[in-house]
Amino acid sequence: MIRKPPEPVQIVKQRRDAALGALVSGVPYIQYLNISFDRRGDELTAVLPFDEKLIGNPFLPAIHGGVTAAFLEVTAMITLNWTWLWEDIETGVLDADQMTAGKLPRLPKTIDFTVDYLRTGLPRDAYARARVTRLGRRYASVQAEAWQDNHDRPFAHATAHFLMPRKDG
């Protein structure tokens, strides 16, 4: 049996970056908040750079609770999509160029979303990571947390459930 040579690492990275870029660009609110994702292999870290428009209470000042919730939901949603589509992206079933052109597969939909506000979000950059705790045929559960200066001191935590689309259409 003749084994196919592995793809050059640069090609693999380009395909992964293009697929992630397509997922992120499909949500206009992500661009409005200027959220980006740092990808290391299959792990994603969301980055919310500080901007004055994010302040909800100028007297503290504190990041608006709605911005915090949106940041966590976006992190959970993109992480779930990335996890769910990872194998199809890696095997080439999903073409990153077609995804970039706007031909995305059907994606999970939010069923419910709960945020625990643990402390004030300060006027500085924020980071978030999500973990898929259950990925079934019908629904998925995801937990996300956001922090600023110290990963061990999150300022918000969220739990989300998503309705999974059928793989056959």
156-169 pLDDT, tens digit each: 999 999 999 987 65
Contacts 24+ apart (CB under 8 A), 95-103: 96/14, 96/15, 96/16, 96/18, 96/19, 96/22, 97/18, 99/18, 99/19, 99/22, 99/23, 100/18, 100/21, 100/22, 100/25, 102/22, 102/26
Average of per-residue pLDDT across 52-57: 93
Element containing residue 12 per DSSP (H, E): helix 9-25
Look up residue 116 and give its two tokens. 């625990």
pTM, entire model: 0.91
The pLDDT value given to residue 41: 79
> In this model, does residue 6 exceed pLDDT 80?
no
> In this model, does residue 133 exceed pLDDT 60?
yes
The pLDDT value given to residue 65: 95
The pLDDT value given to residue 1: 72
Using one digit for the tens of pLDDT, what is the confidence trace for 17-41?
888 999 999 889 999 999 999 998 7
Using one digit for the tens of pLDDT, what is the confidence trace for 78-127?
999 999 988 888 887 888 888 888 888 889 999 999 999 999 999 999 99
Question: How many CB atoms are closer than 10 A to CB 124?
Answer: 11
The pLDDT value given to residue 97: 83
> In this model, does residue 136 exceed pLDDT 60?
yes
**How far is it, in rounded angstroms, from Cα 151 to Cα 145?**
9
Q: Percentage of the chain with pLDDT > 90?
A: 66
